[in-house]
Every structure is written in C-alpha cells, then in structure tokens.
Chain A
Amino acid sequence: EAGVAQSPRYKIIEKRQSVAFWCNPISGHATLYWYQQILGQGPKLLIQFQNNGVVDDSQLPKDRFSAERLKGVDSTLKIQPAKLEDSAVYLCASSLSGTGGYGYTFGSGTRLTVV
C-alpha cells in the first residue's frame, strides 16, 4: 500500500513570499489532516478535511493560511504571505473515516524555512 505522499520535501523562501504544499493521501482515506511541527515540538493540527469538506480549521491562521481538498482526494496548503515563525515541518496525514484511528498515517512532511 502506498503511503501518504507530500511534496516538495524542502522549501526555502523569503518572508512575505507565498508557498504551497501538496498532499496525496492513501487511496480510500476520506479524512485528511494538515499538521504543523515546529522544531522541538509535537505536531499541531491546522486543518481536518472529511472528503472535500472542512471538519475543523479552528487552529488555522486564516489571515495567511488556506487549504483546499478538491474532489476529496489531493490537498494543498498555502501560506501567503509567509512569516519567519512559519518555519516548520508541515505534515499531512490521512485515515479511514469512522475507524477510531485505524490506519492513521503520516507523510514525510515538507520542511519550510522562511528567511
């Protein structure tokens, strides 16, 4: 079974620039999550999708972050404009719905450095 695919693996941008990350979840996984992991900390949820609908985006800084999941499969996370404090690893995860956590799988992440 293929895992959760993310790209790019690394990205370096200057502050105030924009950046986008892409995620392809495991086939059949209806639920998709974006987490932000700042160095030395545990991942924190940014947004959760169920199919192509948003379930929870309460921790997404909506003035600069946006995410979409068209057609209920792939997802993109965008930051515009980026700030220095956005430097982190952005992790995508997916899971089967209604399984209480079974199959919850993380991708390898995109490491963003804002300079």
Chain B
Amino acid sequence: GENVEQHPSTLSVQEGDSAVIKCTYSDSASNYFPWYKQELGKGPQLIIDIRSNVGEKKDQRIAVTLNKTAKHFSLHITETQPEDSAVYFCAASKAGNQFYFGTGTSLTVIP
C-alpha cells in the first residue's frame, strides 16, 4: 500500500514568517494530494489540495507544490498568523478514495 512520510513533526515560527511542511509518498499511482488542518477536538479540515496534473497551486497565503518525479509535495504558509497554529496532515490518494495520511506536523506560530 501507500506510505506517506511527513516532516517535521513539530514546527515553531514567529508570526509573519513562512512555514514549510514536506511529505513524500511511495505509490506512483497516487494522483490526489490534499492537506488538512486539525484543531484540537475537531475533525480534519481541508485547506488546499493538488492533483497530479498540476505542479503548484496557491490560495491566498497557502500554496502547495508537487514533484511527481521525486514523489514529494510541500505545503507553504506565508505571513503566518497565530490562528494558523494547529496540526497539519498531508495525504495521498488514488482517485480520491482511501486517503493515506502522514503523521502530522504540529505548527505553533509565536506572536
């Protein structure tokens, strides 16, 4: 099956700085890569996603890049704010069926 690795496990940044989280996947057939934000006591919330026919996608302060050859994808958050503090999960999927999740990154934005 698919194996998704995520780094770092924890990340602290100063407010206004950028944060980058990286994931690798093993199954070259995976073609859908969502990123989820999970706040304490809540379910994962989709923040951005990318499909294998696209190399980069941006939504305001959030961007995701995908390198299919190297089988890795990254989440970039610019101008971080305290409300960005949460656990972030990457995932990989074939055709949007079962999601294989990374182990999560706990992001802390220091005011």
Chain A residues packing against B (C-beta within 8 Å): 4, 31, 33, 40-45, 48, 55-56, 91, 93, 95, 99-102, 104-109, 111
Is residue B93 contacting chain A, with contact meaning CB distance below 8 A? Answer: yes
Contact between chains at B42 and A108 (CB < 8 Å): yes
Chain B residues packing against A (C-beta within 8 Å): 4, 6, 31-32, 34, 36, 41-46, 49, 51, 89, 91, 93, 95-99, 101-104
> Among A45, A55, A91, which residue has the most Cβ atoms of chain B within 10 A?
A45
How many contacting A-B pairs (Cβ < 8 A)? 60
A48 to B42, CA, bound (A): 21
A93 to B45, CA, bound (A): 11
Contact between chains at B51 and A42 (CB < 8 Å): no
| Distance in Å: Cβ of A51 to nearest Cβ of chain B | 14
- In the complex where A42-B89, A42-B102, A44-B101 touch, is A102 in contact with B43 (Cβ < 8 A)? no
List, sorted by A's number, 25 A–B pairs whose CB atoms are closer than 8 Å. A4-B43, A40-B104, A41-B103, A42-B6, A42-B102, A45-B98, A45-B99, A48-B97, A55-B97, A56-B97, A91-B43, A93-B43, A95-B96, A100-B31, A100-B32, A100-B51, A101-B32, A101-B34, A101-B93, A101-B95, A102-B96, A104-B34, A104-B46, A106-B36, A108-B43
Contact between chains at B96 and A99 (CB < 8 Å): yes
Contact between chains at B96 and A43 (CB < 8 Å): no
Contact between chains at B32 and A91 (CB < 8 Å): no
Contact between chains at A33 and B43 (CB < 8 Å): no
For the complex of A and B, the 4 pairs showing the least CB-CB separation, nearest first, are A101-B96, A42-B101, A106-B43, A100-B96
- In the complex where A41-B103, A42-B89, A100-B32 touch, is A109 in contact with B43 (Cβ < 8 A)? yes
| Distance in Å: Cβ of B52 to nearest Cβ of chain A | 10
A91 to B102, CA, bound (A): 16
